[in-house]
Structure 1
C-alpha cells in the first residue's frame, strides 16, 4: 500500500472537511482545495456567518455541522489536469451545491462530491441543499457529458451507470421549481418568508434548530434564484419584504 501524500478537499461543508485538519497533521499531507472554498476551510466561521445573513452568528449557529476545524490549504485547485506523482488527476469545478465545489476524475472514476446526490439523499432531505439551481442544473448537464467508468457522489453509492441518477436529480430540481412557480401563480404575490414557510410545510421538512432552518432557507432561495434567472418569476420589494410574482411582460 502506497504512502499517503495528498489530501484533496472538494468543498467547504463541514461534513466534507471536518476531519481534514487531523488527517493533514497526522500524515503531513499536501492539501488541495478550490478557491473560495479554501478561504472558508481556513476561516470556518464564514459559513455560519453567511448563512446568518452576514450578521455575527448566534452561539447556536456555531456548531460542528456548520463549522469544522480550520485546515491550512497548501494549493488552490483549478479546473485542469494535474499530476500527483505519475498519476493524472482531472479536476472539475462544479458549482451549484457550493460556490466553487470541485470533483476529481482518477483512473476513469469520477469522485463527484455533491455535484449530484444519491437517490436516497434526494428524498431524505426533501429540499436538497444547493446555492443556486441554475448552476446546479448546468453542473448536472455537464455530468451527463463526462465519459467515465463510474461515479461516486458525496452522499450515495458508487454506480457504474450513474447517468440515470443524474437525470433523476435534474427531474427532482425541476419539479421543485415547478412547485414554486405554481404556488406563486396561485397566490399572485408571495413574500420570501411566506414561500420558505409554505415550501417547508408542503415538503414535510422537520426543523428544530435555527441552523437547520437557515440551511433550508438558503435551499429555497436557490430555486428562487433559478426561476428569476429564467424569467419565470419577477421580484421586488413591497412593505420591506422581498416579494415574488409571475412576470407579465
Structure 2
C-alpha cells in the first residue's frame, strides 16, 4: 500500500485506496487528488520529499472526501495550490455540503466522519481558468456534480471514480451515482478512449479500459432492471432501499444508508425521466411503480 508506480516518463501514481496521481513539471510536482485523509496526505508528502519533488499543487478530480481528504494537511504544510471545478470547489471549501447533500438535511454526528466529510481546503482555485502545463481535462459526468478526468503529457488518463473494479462491483453492486444518464454517457465515451495507461481511482491501472467500462455499464443496466422489477407493485423509497440491501447482502449503517439511498433516488429519477416509472402520492406517501400501458400491460 502507498507504493509509487511509474506509468510515464513524468507520470506516477501512489497505489492506495483512492489512487493519487503525480505529474512532474520543471518546477516540481502536481498531485491529482490527495487521498482519503490526513495520513494519506502525510504519506504522499513523504514520497515527494524523499525524491526532492516540491509540491506545487493538487488538482482535485472531484470533491468526495476520499479524494480531497489530504488537501488541508498538504496545503498547511507546503502552501500548495488546490484546483477544482466550480461546484466541486464549493464542496472542498465547505465539506459539510457532502453529507448534507447525501442525507438530504442537516447531517447528524455519525455522518460527519472523514469518509463523507474532509477537512476544508482554505484556498481553492477554479480549475477551469487554466491547467498546469502538460495537462488536459475531460468532463466525466454522472458520479458527482462536476467530476473531471486528467490526461498527462505522457498520455496517461486519471479517470477518478467513473469506473469501479470488478471486486468492488461484486461486493457493493450499487456504486455511488448522482446522474445515471450522464454516467452512462461517460461510460460510452471512456470505453473508446485510447491511451498509454488508464488509472481509475478504485480499479487496477490498465492499457485497455474498454472491458471495465462495459462491466460498469452492465451493472448499471442490471440495477435498473432490478428496480423496475421491484416496482411491479407500488413501493416507497424506504421499502425499495430495504429490498436492495436484502437482495445484494449489504450491511446497513449510516454511511451506506446515505450513499445507497442517494444513488437509489438517482436511479428512480432516471427511470422516471425515461418514462419507465411513474410516481404518485397516496396517504401521504410517495409511491413508485412501473408505468403501464393502457390495458394493464407494462
Fold equivalence (TM over 0.5): yes
Q: Displaced runs of 4+ in structure 1, greater than 3 A?
A: none
Distance 1:50 1:172 in 2: 24
Give the number of equivalent residue pairs. 241
Distance 1:39 1:83 in 2: 18
Q: 1:12–1:38: 8 Å Cα contact kept in structure 2?
A: yes
Q: Aligned to 1:223, which of 267, 277, 282?
A: 267
Rg comparison, structure with higher value: 2
| 1:7 shift after superposition | 0.8
| 1:4 shift after superposition | 2.3
| 1:73 shift after superposition | 4.1
How has the CA–CA distance of structure 1 residues 176 and 28 changed in structure 2, closer, same or farther, with 3 Å as cutoff? same
SS in 2 for 1:88: coil
SS in 2 for 1:234: strand
Q: 2:172–2:248: 8 Å Cα contact kept in structure 1?
A: no
How has the CA–CA distance of structure 1 residues 168 and 8 changed in structure 2, closer, same or farther, with 3 Å as cutoff? same
CA RMSD of aligned residues (A): 1.7
Which 5+ residue runs of structure 1 have no aligned equivalent?
Answer: none
Q: Aligned to 1:72, which of 96, 113, 122?
A: 122
Q: Tell me what 2:77 maps to.
A: 26
Q: Tell me what 2:211 maps to.
A: 164
Q: Tell me what 2:142 maps to.
A: 96
Structure 1, residues 189-233: CA drift from partner, whole Å, max 9, x if none? 1121111111111111112x3232111111212221221121111
Structure 1, residues 120-152: CA drift from partner, whole Å, max 9, x if none? 221222211111211211111111233322211
How has the CA–CA distance of structure 1 residues 101 and 83 changed in structure 2, closer, same or farther, with 3 Å as cutoff? closer
Which structure ranks higher in relative contact order (CA pairs < 8 Å, sequence separation ≥ 6)?
Answer: 1
The alignment's TM-score, normalised by the length of structure 1, stands at 0.90
Q: Tell me what 1:204 maps to.
A: 249
Q: 1:232–1:247: 8 Å Cα contact kept in structure 2?
A: yes
